[in-house]
Structure 1
Amino acid sequence: MQELLVLTPLNSLLLILVMLLAVVIWRYSATALHAEADKPRFMRALATTFSAVIFTLLSNHLLLFWFGWVLISFSLQQLLLFYPQRPRAQLAAHKKALSARCGELLLALAFMLLYAEYDTANITALIQLIATQTTLSLTGHIAAMLLVLVALLKCAQLPLHGWLIHVVEAPTPVSALLHAGIINLGGILLLTFAPLLSLSMPAASLLLVAATLSTVLAALIMTTRISIKVRLAWSTVAQMGLMLVEIALGFYTLALLHLLAHSCYKAYAFLHSGNAVNHYLAAQLAQPVIPHLRHWFASLSLAAGLIGITHLLVIPFVNLSSALLLILAISVLLLPALTRTDSRRPVRLLIANGCAILLLAIYLAGKTLLQYIAPADNALSMVADLFASLAFLSLFALALLLRYHAQRSAVNRLFIWLNAGGYLDEWATRVTLKLWPFTPLPTKKNTELTPVETVK
């Protein structure tokens, strides 16, 4: 009898991540919800959610994997409704439930097609059979397309993203759990079935186009937000889209590295969001200087030179889009050191270059180590690489326009449209409520006398 549960290098690494997040979020929850009367209910739901995630990662059978996937959604629903009287929390949970049911139905259909095609429900045996093929049948392509749709739904890609934005109505540990862990399940699903996706050009193309559009729009919308938690939520949509773009392009090692880094960062960001006001005040006191075109040109040139040297002397970059992403990221890191023209600029520039080199070394080391754990990379095509590169450049240019030239008429109109989220969530909400209406629970009125009223 084939094993129903299995431990592989990939899921072992993911289990370490999950257990690390579990310890941190559990301790934070125990402190943050100390005064809540319903704290035991919250902790039970949190424990069930983490248990379901661990069970899903260990599952080596299609039925067990699907069962764990469903259990995660239902246990998470209890956390989203920890404050059941909040109307926005009810709406977010309702929209999440509809999205989850659709994803579970599509996942079940994909698994049934794979079982019918390969006559096995054992995931390890299934992946081995797919890896021996060079082409897929129509059934295989349909299954791959369904898995892509499931991943897009699970990663809250536009336009079905609204529930993730409204999750801020739940306690902060729920946001940390969702944004640092649960939201990554779509990427984990595609990494698990990477051999199937790499053989299906239609599925990979669908994933590339949908995730790229979602990444660009979500990243631009994020720049128009003021609320820290809402900005973080939009950042998650954009980051998940970028991870799915990397998977679509066949950069599985880079996608796994992105997944791990994003999980750690988002857990820290949400659990540390209470200090955001202090960081904002510190930034205001720093009196930021608006960079000129020459500053951007200098930072981009230095970043391109650093990546060029790395390409020639250390590890060659075999694709344009990943190298371009690094150039843009490093240029943003170097820019503040170049902007201030005072006597300390050489020192700041030296420190900034040192940080850039250190981050690049960490990136290359992580990617080198993870290539023995992640599925083997399988680049999609040069056209796809160019499409992603053009999208990244467009995002960079539009973000600069929105930040430094928002007073222009055309840019201001774009800002207003983005500030409304492109009205995509309103449209999705109307469709959701038409397909699955619900009646909000009545809000609880506080009839108890306050201490002041009691004295009177």
Structure 2
Amino acid sequence: MLNFLSLTTMFFVSLAVAALSAVLLLHPRVPLTFVRIHTGIITLPALTALVSLITNHTNGIFGPWHFDALGWLMAFFILTIGLIVQRYSVRYLLGERSYRKYFALLTLTTGAASMTWLCNDFRLLLACWAATLLGMTLLIGLNREWQVARKAASFSGRQFLLSWLFSFVAIIWLAQVSGHWQFSLAISDDGLRQLDSWERTGINLLLVLAVVIPAAQWPFHRWLLDSAVAPTPVSAVMHAGFVNVGGIMLTRFAPLLSGDFAQIFLLVLAGISVLLGTGIMLVQVDYKRQLVASTIAQMGFMLVQCALGAYEAAIIHLILHGLFKAGLFMQAGSAVRHYERISRTPDRLSFFWKVVGGVLGLLVGVVYWLTAPGEGYQLISSLILGWSLSFAWTQMIAYGQGTIERMAGFSVVAGMALVFGFIHYVLSGVLHQAVYQHTQPSMLVAIFALFILVSGSTIGAWLGRHASSGSFAVLYLWLVRLGDPHPVTVESHPNYLVKYISRGGNYK
């Protein structure tokens, strides 16, 4: 059996080979058919991370690296997303002028991102995270001939630089006060005892600001709307593996954040982002920007989980959301189709089945919460489980037409529940020892979260009953404006194509 040192060596060697393959691909004399070989090469680090995740059940520190289940899981997840998207892009982007550059940048960016969460040295972590931010900026502006893409990349790059500076100041501050550059020592009990309460709050506030920017949370959400001009595969990687950084970083710094005032600050920004992202998604007509708004809301919910101390739930959420959103982006081209609207007229049994679904969701949520009522993770999971079951039951069963359709809907709901239970069981087993568990939300944080949930539901219900009112019109137009990107990142058609056509269809 491979030992710990052999696996880590194989992982970094495979990453180095993948990076060398990416650089080699940039040479114009290398045939484009090498791309298929390259996508085979980048499979190696993902497989090595998977083997390490399965076989390595203990924490291991090797030089500036910290190998644990969370780090291996994130490395495997990021590299797998990059592999899937690159395989998808082999034919999708064929003919693009930046074809070679795209594969090289994406390989280097996902490689740097995968190493970020394996770092045990603060300086190395900052370097890897800076490389990830730079790579994502270059990917957004991949088409340099298109002015809109350059503007979007410029704005996103400035936002990313601000995020990195926040994290730089926070990490340097923590390292200086704790007296350790090693991550594991700085956030240990002995290291945290070196911090005064105001220093702890200051560092946490900087970390929160550092993570809400790449997570596209209000008021820093506009960069993600601007980035919709990036190629669809770039958007898939961005929404699947890049915006999730907030949940991973806050989980790593959980011992520092737990019980601090910064949790309330995070909850406020994330709660507002959930409401605004959902509203923008409902009023947008552009499909990619609907997905962007959905990501804003989903990342807000993930950060709400972190604010409540449910770090395990946040990691599971970001993984499932990443896989789901990557799939949506890669099939975005088939989103526009002609179809006939199907009108459903609820029968007399619909109301009864809706009540049954609501009661069933409530019972399942309460029973699940009572299995461990003192854990913040259990509270969040019970809310998600109960609401999801009630919603699925209403859509698949209560609104079904006739007995056969309701039976089919019940079969689908039951199958989804089994799949969810299996995935949840596997990921919980992997993360239980690696994720900070000894935390639960303070009463103030829990009350504030409940207030956001109730107020959002109340406002939504009121607007649904007053869709023709002036307040609804004002809110609708405000959300439309809030969901619009910067004017300089919007064109009715790509102006650079005029130059392309004038040259007879020759890019060169």
TM range, smaller chain: 0.7 to 0.9
8 Å Cα contact 1:130/1:196 also seen in 2 = no
8 Å Cα contact 2:160/2:214 also seen in 1 = yes
Residue 418 (structure 2) aligns with: 358
Shift of 1:2: 7.2
Residue 150 (structure 1) aligns with: 210
Shift of 1:340: 3.7
The alpha-carbon distance between structure 1 residues 250 and 224, as it changes in their structure 2 partners (threshold 3 A), is same
What is the DSSP-based 3-state SS (H/G/I as helix, E as strand, rest coil) of the residue aligned with 2:499? coil
CA distance in 2 between partners of 1:190 and 1:142 (Å)? 15
User: When the two structures are superposed, what TM-score results if normalisation uses the length of structure 2?
Assistant: 0.77
Shift of 1:6: 2.5
CA distance in 2 between partners of 1:140 and 1:347 (Å)? 55
CA distance in 2 between partners of 1:2 and 1:16 (Å)? 19
Alignment of 1:2-13 (within 5 A): 3-13=63-73
The alpha-carbon distance between structure 1 residues 183 and 107, as it changes in their structure 2 partners (threshold 3 A), is same
Residue 229 (structure 2) aligns with: 169
CA distance in 2 between partners of 1:209 and 1:57 (Å)? 26
The alpha-carbon distance between structure 1 residues 159 and 26, as it changes in their structure 2 partners (threshold 3 A), is same
2:434 to 368, 373, 379: 373
Residue 446 (structure 1) aligns with: 499
Residue 101 (structure 1) aligns with: 161
| Aligned length in residues | 434
Shift of 1:355: 4.1
CA distance in 2 between partners of 1:355 and 1:395 (Å)? 31
8 Å Cα contact 2:369/2:382 also seen in 1 = no
8 Å Cα contact 2:364/2:385 also seen in 1 = no
Shift of 1:196: 0.6
Q: Name the amino acid aligned to 1:7.
A: F
Alignment of 1:211-230 (within 5 A): 211-230=270-289
Shift of 1:144: 1.5
Task: Please say which of residues 322-331 and 236-245 is displaced more in the overlay.
Answer: 322-331
1:119 pairs with 2:179? yes
Residue 438 (structure 1) aligns with: none
Deviation readout 1:297-319 (Å, 9 max, x if unpaired) = 4432221123234456x665855
CA distance in 2 between partners of 1:442 and 1:226 (Å)? 22
Deviation readout 1:51-77 (Å, 9 max, x if unpaired) = 211232222111111111111111112
Shift of 1:357: 3.9
Q: Name the amino acid aligned to 1:421.
A: L
8 Å Cα contact 1:29/1:173 also seen in 2 = yes
1:413 pairs with 2:471? no
Deviation readout 1:114-147 (Å, 9 max, x if unpaired) = 1211111111221224576497443232111111
2:450 to 389, 392, 398: 389
Residue 306 (structure 1) aligns with: 364
CA distance in 1 between partners of 2:125 and 2:242 (Å)? 15
Residue 186 (structure 1) aligns with: 246
CA distance in 2 between partners of 1:367 and 1:445 (Å)? 50
Residue 435 (structure 1) aligns with: none
Q: Name the amino acid aligned to 1:219.
A: T
The alpha-carbon distance between structure 1 residues 239 and 295, as it changes in their structure 2 partners (threshold 3 A), is same
- Residue identity over aligned pairs, in percent, reads 26
What is the DSSP-based 3-state SS (H/G/I as helix, E as strand, rest coil) of the residue aligned with 1:83? coil
Alignment of 1:235-250 (within 5 A): 235-250=294-309
8 Å Cα contact 1:224/1:419 also seen in 2 = yes
- Structure 1 gaps of 5+ residues are 431-440
1:88 pairs with 2:148? yes
CA distance in 1 between partners of 2:304 and 2:324 (Å)? 20
CA distance in 1 between partners of 2:206 and 2:369 (Å)? 37
2:261 to 202, 207, 221: 202
The alpha-carbon distance between structure 1 residues 338 and 404, as it changes in their structure 2 partners (threshold 3 A), is farther
Residue 234 (structure 1) aligns with: 293
8 Å Cα contact 1:220/1:399 also seen in 2 = no
CA distance in 2 between partners of 1:289 and 1:355 (Å)? 26
Shift of 1:192: 1.0
User: When the two structures are superposed, what TM-score results if normalisation uses the length of structure 1?
Assistant: 0.85
CA distance in 2 between partners of 1:396 and 1:359 (Å)? 29
Deviation readout 1:183-237 (Å, 9 max, x if unpaired) = 11122111111111114x2211111111111111111221112222111111111
- Structure of greater relative contact order (alpha carbons < 8 Å, 6+ residues apart): 1
1:273 to 332, 357, 368: 332
Shift of 1:13: 0.8
8 Å Cα contact 2:185/2:191 also seen in 1 = no
The alpha-carbon distance between structure 1 residues 445 and 56, as it changes in their structure 2 partners (threshold 3 A), is same
Residue 77 (structure 1) aligns with: 137
Shift of 1:45: 1.2
The alpha-carbon distance between structure 1 residues 244 and 447, as it changes in their structure 2 partners (threshold 3 A), is closer
Q: Name the amino acid aligned to 1:416.
A: L
8 Å Cα contact 1:107/1:150 also seen in 2 = yes
CA distance in 2 between partners of 1:80 and 1:290 (Å)? 46
Q: Name the amino acid aligned to 1:37.
A: R
Task: Please say which of residues 28-37 and 113-122 is displaced more in the overlay.
Answer: 28-37
- Structure 2 gaps of 5+ residues are 1-60, 489-493
Alignment of 1:272-351 (within 5 A): 272-278=331-337, 281=339, 284-289=340-345, 296-311=354-369, 318=375, 320-336=379-395, 337-344=397-404, 346-348=406-408, 350-351=410-411
CA distance in 2 between partners of 1:58 and 1:318 (Å)? 27
What is the DSSP-based 3-state SS (H/G/I as helix, E as strand, rest coil) of the residue aligned with 1:389? helix
